[in-house]
Amino acid sequence: MIDETAVTDLLARERDPYLDADLLSARLVRELQVEGDAVGVRLVLPYAGLSAGQALAGRLRTQLEALPGVTRAHVDVAVEIPTHAAARGRPPLPGIRNLIAVASGKGGVGKSTTAVNLALALAAEGARVGILDADIYGPSQPRMLGAMVKAEAHGGGKRMAPVVRYGVQSMSVGYLIDAETPAIWRGPIVTQVLNQLLRETDWDDLDFLVVDLPPGTGDIHLSLAQQIPLSGAIIVTTPQDIALLDARKGLKMFQQVEVPVLGVVENMSTHVCSHCGHEEPIFGTAGGERLAAQYDVPLLGSLPLDLRIREQADNGRPTVVAEPDSELAARYRAIAREASARLLRGGNEQAAFPAIRMLDD
């Protein structure tokens, strides 16, 4: 005979590392089934944290099977991302639950590389993901995704199907015009083109659309940040002072338009020599950390300057899919888990979750 209280006590003791709450009060336990000598638990995570959830499920199973009367325990994990309050209550976009902007002030800090690896990492952590290349002067996502193709139009040429690579849906002006054709659009037209890319693509049931913004904090950025219903923004910076200065502008801009900044990613934080493995902080140290502390946003993680990151992205197979078990991929995945969990804090989305369902009778 299984003591049900012992089971629920156990669930109330085990904590979710990202939500800073136990499994019951975080309402992660969606189903609990006690039958004879068997216990079945179904966990549903509201953030992209499949790997962490599976580790948790493993621990839980061992603990459950150690309870008196339990011979078999089954723990199932799924990810279900809610829609987070978009800034200023703008109407949501069809097919997209959450938009996350990846921005930097300064160009060339690795924004696009970080954005694509982050998108792939969110997907690897159980979310349905898309990426919008919002850099219409220098689109880089087609190359990074190994998708030098043309987008398929339908609906009388009015709508486009996203290009799918590695399970991620993508749209870029690079799918519409030749890479060699110089785009000479100016201000208002840029925003119009971007709005079209965003709204005329048939995004299919996305938990997250990662928006890879062009460098800068100019008018285009401001009008985009105001027009599209962003759930949050991530700032990429390198540790040197000049990049940090520009990153500050980015941070301020999002704060002004009331888009929550989920955190800072420090890219190229150290250089790892591909010959001897020696690690050197060539762009200075702890810049991202200082920036994060100053603006009271978390440092989501840091990536070293590593030849593999560049080569793999250049070859159309970013690190998260090229070397999924590498330490570098693990860093991107940790950033993905943390960023998506950050979306939950401060909101009251938890209230929308159904209460635990007891299936025993």
Ligand X SMILES: Nc1ncnc2c1ncn2[C@@H]1O[C@H](COP(=O)(O)OP(=O)(O)OP(=O)(O)O)[C@@H](O)[C@H]1O
**Which of residues 125, 207, 266, 306 is near ligand X by CB under 6 A?**
306
Return the number of the residue (126 or 304) whose C-beta is nearest ligand X.
304
**Which of residues 39, 48, 79, 309 is near ligand X by CB under 6 A?**
309
We find the least distance from the C-beta atom of residue 269 to ligand X, in angstroms, to be 8
CB 340 within 8 A of CB 81: yes
Site map for Mg ion, 136-175, x if CB under 5 A?
----x-----------------------------------
Return the number of the residue (16 or 133) whose C-beta is nearest Mg ion.
133
We find the least distance from the C-beta atom of residue 81 to Mg ion, in angstroms, to be 25
Spatial CA neighbour of 310 closest among 251, 278, 268:
268
Residue 238 as a binder of ligand X (CB under 6 A): the answer is: no
Footprint on residues 186-225 left by ligand X (CB under 6 A): 215
Footprint on residues 328-347 left by ligand X (CB under 6 A): none
Whole-angstrom distance, CA of residue 174 vs CA of residue 148: 8
Residue 250 as a binder of ligand X (CB under 6 A): the answer is: no
Helix (H, G, I), strand (E, B) or coil at 52: helix
Count the site residues for Mg ion by CB under 5 A. Answer: 3
Spatial CA neighbour of 201 closest among 105, 107, 93:
93
Count the site residues for ligand X by CB under 6 A. Answer: 21
173: which DSSP letter? G
Whole-angstrom distance, CA of residue 201 vs CA of residue 71: 51
Whole-angstrom distance, CA of residue 140 vs CA of residue 131: 11
Spatial CA neighbour of 41 closest among 22, 18, 57, 62:
57
What's phi and psi for 49, nearest 5 deg? -145, 45
The residues of the shown chain that bind ligand X, judged by CB under 6 A, are: 104, 107-113, 135, 138, 140, 215, 267-268, 303, 305-306, 309-310, 313-314
Rule CB under 5 A: which residues touch Mg ion? Answer: 111-112, 140
